[in-house]
Each structure stands twice: as structure tokens, then as C-alpha cells.
Chains A and B, each alone.
Chain A
Amino acid sequence: MKLAVSVLTALAVMLASGLAIAAQSPPPTETVPPRVKQILPRGGIPAITAPVFVKATEAEIPSDAWVLGVVVEGQARAYSLNLLNRHEVVNDQAGGTPFAAVW
């Protein structure tokens, strides 16, 4: 649903941490696709590539909190949407199936 607005979070995080927020231009040799605008440096919203999980009984999360839930190869996973705001993409794998959970 949001799919677009995580740059706001990244911006807030960067401001809070005192980092420069000037959008980093891609290298001059790189061709940016038509109508695409670089708003934040690449990596400003760090994706998760080695996700860590806990059991449901160990998770501290309110029952009315929104999650993205998936079932892949019989394995159920839940990702808190508020947590995903900072990461946008989780590169995950279940069984032999690599998949990306995207918010």
C-alpha cells in the first residue's frame, strides 16, 4: 500500500543521525531509467539480507500491530510493518525458495 513513502523514514533517520541528506547522484556512466528520480542515496534504506527470526511465543508485538504475513513452502513468517518501514525489503528464503518480502 505505501510502496513509495519509505524515503520519508530514511530521511528522518538520516536527519536524526546528522548525515548529509543531499541525494547522491548515480555514477555518471550509469543510465538512469526514464522518469526515475534519485531521492536518497542508494542504501539509505538498508534492506535486510540475513533475516533473524524468533518464535511467536518469544515475539514482543502488540496484537493489533500490522504485520506482513507469508507462507512459503509450508513455513509461516511475519514481519512487522512498522519494522519494515526502515528496511523496505527483506531478502528471505524458505526451504529451497528464495523470496523478497516488500513493503
Chain B
Amino acid sequence: MYGREYGDRVLNFEASGALLDASLVMRDRETDSWWSIMSSDAIGGALEGTRLVELPGSEKTTWGDWVRRHPETQVLSVDGSEHELRNPYDEYFRSDKTFRDQELADPRLAAKAPIWSFRIDGRPFAIAHQAIGDGRVLELPGTDGEALYLYRETGAGLIASTRAFRLDTAAARIPLLSNLRERAARGEFDPYPGFDTFWYSWVAVNPDTVLLGQ
């Protein structure tokens, strides 16, 4: 999820129809700038160099789970439909093939290894889903003991979002992960922005990624 206010403008984004390596490039209708999701900034046009404003707090989950926790939710409806049964990407998610045969630029992980990716002051970081397991505290390099708390719901499936929260120094010292999860569920910690993707897709655009948790 991204903010749409840049300078004194509110932008409307759309898919450009173009790819950077194998990843989505958006354009905005107001300035025609090019925006890469993977580099998280404008890579061309009038706003080149502007960072995308990443908003925390979005998650991919099942409708049943979402509506149980947010019964008042509104649901997007397009031409009278709130859902479509067909998903042309099932095979892409199941297979170990990359999109358009994109080559793996960095063999630290398998091409289709699912990761959670994020930035600290623009620097790219990643951690494999496998290394997150049921929960993990990562100390943030370059901070005074601050940390991220990450977890994935057990058995939630590949598409489900990794949950990420920023911990202050005191909270980061708590060793009991189960306690952290309860506190996160109660809303005690601020969510931290980042997204789940496949390693090959992220590292093609971010070759200097710091890979954590290995």
C-alpha cells in the first residue's frame, strides 16, 4: 500500500504495461513518471528519484479471516462482482519457474524462494520465509537496539502476508515470542512496511540486498 500525495499533488497510479527486469512498473497519470515497486522510487519522468511512500498495515489473508476481525469492512465491487473465481497465476505460484525466464542474479537463495523484503533508510533487506518460521526478532543494523518482530501464521500459505512490527529497545529484549505475538495482536506495536515477493524478482533490482536470518 502506497501513499498518493507527492509534493502538492495527489497522484493516480496505473500499471505501465512495462517491466523493470521482471517486476511491476507503475506510471502516474498526473506527471507520467515511472515508478518501480521493487526499487520503491520513481525511476524516470518528472518525479525521478522520489521515493514511494510505503504505508504499513496492509495484509493478504483469506476473506473469512479478514471479515472475522473486521466485520465492518467495506469490500471492493467491480461491475457488481466482489470476486472472480479464476486465478491465472496459480501455476506461477506453484512452479519454480521465473517470470519470462528472468535469470537469477544472486544465488544466495533459490530463485523462487519466498521472502519478506523491506528497507531501512532506503537500504534493501530481505529474509526468507523459511527463516521467519513461527516468529523471529531481528535487530535493526544501525539503530540503537531497535528491532523488527516478524511472524507468519502457521499453515497460512504462501500468499499470506508476513506480519512485521517495529520494537523499541525495551520490547526487543523480551525473549518470549509468544508474548510478542499476543502484544502485536493487541496493537501494542507499530506495523513496519515491507512486502512479500520472490527472491529473484527482488534481488534483480536490489543487488546490494542484506540477507538476514541465514
Q: Which positions in A face B, CB cutoff 8 Å?
A: 1-10, 12, 23-24, 30-49, 51-56, 58-72, 75-83, 85-91, 93, 97-102
Give 6 nearest A-B pairs by CB, closest first. A63-B64, A33-B44, A47-B14, A40-B17, A53-B74, A76-B73
Other A-B contacts than A1-B159, A53-B77, 20 sampled, CB-CB below 8 A, are A1-B198, A3-B23, A4-B24, A10-B17, A31-B44, A36-B18, A36-B19, A36-B34, A39-B17, A54-B82, A59-B82, A69-B73, A72-B55, A76-B66, A76-B70, A80-B75, A83-B76, A83-B84, A86-B84, A89-B13
Instruction: Give, as a whole number of angstroms, the nearest-CB distance from B204 to chain A.
Output: 9
Query: Per a CB cutoff under 8 Å, which of B10, B73, B159 touches A81?
Result: B159
- What are 17 A-B pairs at a CB distance below 8 A? A1-B93, A1-B196, A2-B92, A23-B17, A36-B34, A38-B18, A43-B17, A45-B15, A52-B78, A61-B82, A66-B60, A77-B76, A78-B67, A83-B84, A89-B26, A90-B76, A98-B5
Please measure, in the bound complex, the distance between the C-alpha atom of A45 and the C-alpha atom of B88, giving whole angstroms: 14
A62/B87 contact (C-beta < 8 A), A4-B22, A70-B57, A77-B74 known: no
Secondary structure dominating the interface of A: mixed
Please, which residues of chain B bring their CB within 8 A of the CB of A34?
Answer: 43
Q: How far is the CA of A77 from the CA of B55 in the complex (A)?
A: 14
Residues of the B chain whose Cβ atoms lie less than 8 Å from the Cβ of A102: 1-2, 13, 24, 26, 37
Task: Check A53/B58 contact, CB under 8 A, given A60-B83, A78-B63.
Answer: no
CB-based contact B19/A65 at 8 Å: no
The count of chain B contact residues (Cβ–Cβ below 8 Å) is 69
For the complex, what is the distance from the CA of A54 to the CA of B81, rounded to whole Å?
A: 10
Q: Which of A58, A61, A90 has the most CB of B within 10 A?
A: A61
User: Which chain A residue has the least Cβ–Cβ distance from B84?
Assistant: A82
Assess the B4–A91 pair: CB atoms within 8 A.
yes
B3 interface residue (CB < 8 Å to A): yes
CB contact between B58 and one of A33, A40, A58, A101 (< 8 Å): that residue: A101
Docked-complex contact B17 and A85, CB < 8 angstroms:
no
Contact B24 A80 (CB under 8 A): no
